[in-house]
Amino acid sequence: MPQESEIRVGLAGYGTAGEFFHAPLIAATPGLRLAAVVTGDPERAARVRRTHPGADVLASADDLPGRCDVVVIASPNRTHVPLARAALEAGLPVVVDKPLAGSAAQARDLVRLAAERGLMLTVFQNRRWDGDFLTIRRLLPELGAIHRLESRFERWRPVPKGGWREMGDADEIGGVLYDLGSHLVDQALQLLGPVSAVYAEADARRPGVRSDDDAFVALTHVSGARSHLWMSAVAGRLGPRFRVLGSRGAYVKSGLDPQEACLRAGERPDGTARADGAAWGVEPPDRWGELGVEGDSRAVPTEPGAYQEFYAGVVACLRDGAPPPVDPCDAVASLAVLEAARRSAESGSTVALPAVTS
């Protein structure tokens, strides 16, 4: 891995994830250079050339070896496993957008391959660096023992956008359970630890949609705590993003972390294209959450969101031998929960998980 020069990044995929998350964060990270982007779409290729003029545009991920030092996979979910495997077999470390795979078994195979080759494998769980999630971590001493976590990613999209996420079959690994649920389950496991039982409901509510667009997952953690997770594209009124109930008090927070909107608007955490000069990831006071109990609560500042820390962690891993920013074994554990949720939704019953899921 280069020590003096920049680390060359090859990005496979320039859809929403590639264009609005990975490419700008890579470009904003000291030590990284976006060297190549794989896309077969002429309009997307034109946007790459306009926004990242130093990057080569390639038609196939097969052309990445030799042009980059690390591969980032932001292509459709069904391609994650074959592209990650090919990159690892070519001797390249890999970043994979969530979900890492369609099953825990596939994810374990990738983790095993990366370990055998001595290569970094990590998963883009950027929501670990959402400001509200970082705030919960900061507030844990004041909340006491958490006995219930309520977490939501809800949207109001009555008209489907189309595409593989909504219209594809099971092989596409679409739907809100694997899309948004990958974030919610990961956060729940990070806060409350491993899971012993899963109950879930998953439905396709909009006409023509083949993948689930409305889901609920209830987790019983080994500790006895419970997580209730909602993910939906058909929520006409949004619930709070978080409601965390602890032995000493509660934290309630509404609204989504601002970083996604900033990235979609062309802003970057290094200050590029920020006309107002505002600090990255900072929420105004009117969006802060409330901490306390009924009749005695106060607004608490939201920690600044920090998606840039993920790719800073990639640099530290590749250059200094630090642990990857997200342990891929965490993705195995999350996928075991999501698989159990799928089985529960199909059977209408609670699914028990073994004590060790990674």
Give domain 7-124's CATH number out of 1.10.287.1040, 1.10.10.60, 3.40.50.300, 3.40.50.720. 3.40.50.720
Query: Which tokens go with 62?
Result: 């097969």
Asked if pLDDT for residue 161 goes beyond 80, the answer is yes
Q: Region 16-32: what's the mean pLDDT? A: 97
pLDDT band, residue 18 (cuts 50/70/90): very high
Strand pairing class (146-154; 296-300): unpaired
What is the model's pLDDT at position 187?
98
What is 62-99 written as a DSSP string? GG-BTTBSEEEE-S-GGGHHHHHHHHHHTT--EEEESS
Lowest mean pLDDT among 47-51, 207-211, 350-354: 207-211
What is the model's pLDDT at position 235?
97
Q: Region 88-93: what's the mean pLDDT? A: 98
Query: Which tokens go with 182?
Result: 């990958």
Measured CA to CA, the distance from residue 310 to residue 306 in angstroms comes to 8
DSSP 8-state code for residue 133: H
Measured CA to CA, the distance from residue 220 to residue 225 in angstroms comes to 6
Asked if pLDDT for residue 344 goes beyond 50, the answer is yes
Interval 201-259: pLDDT, tens: 999 999 989 899 999 999 999 999 999 999 999 999 999 999 999 999 999 999 999 99
What is the residue extent of each domain of the chain? Answer: 7-124, 127-305+337-352
Q: What is the spatial order of strands in the sheet that 242-246 belongs to? A: 296-300, 289-293, 250-253, 242-246, 146-154, 226-232, 214-221, 195-203, 351-352
Q: Region 251-270: what's the mean pLDDT? A: 95
pLDDT band, residue 167 (cuts 50/70/90): confident
Q: Which CATH class is domain 127-305+337-352?
A: alpha beta
Residue 9 and residue 33 in contact, taking contact as beta carbons nearer than 8 Å: yes
Please name the residues in contact with 204: beta carbons below 8 A apart, sequence gap of 6 or more.
175, 210, 211, 212, 213, 214
Q: Region 4-10: what's the mean pLDDT? A: 90
**Mean pLDDT for all residues in the chain:** 95
Query: Which tokens go with 71?
Result: 């591969």
Higher pLDDT, 273 or 166: 166
From residue 295, alpha-carbon distances to 144, 271, 291, 292, 298 in Å are 18, 40, 11, 8, 10
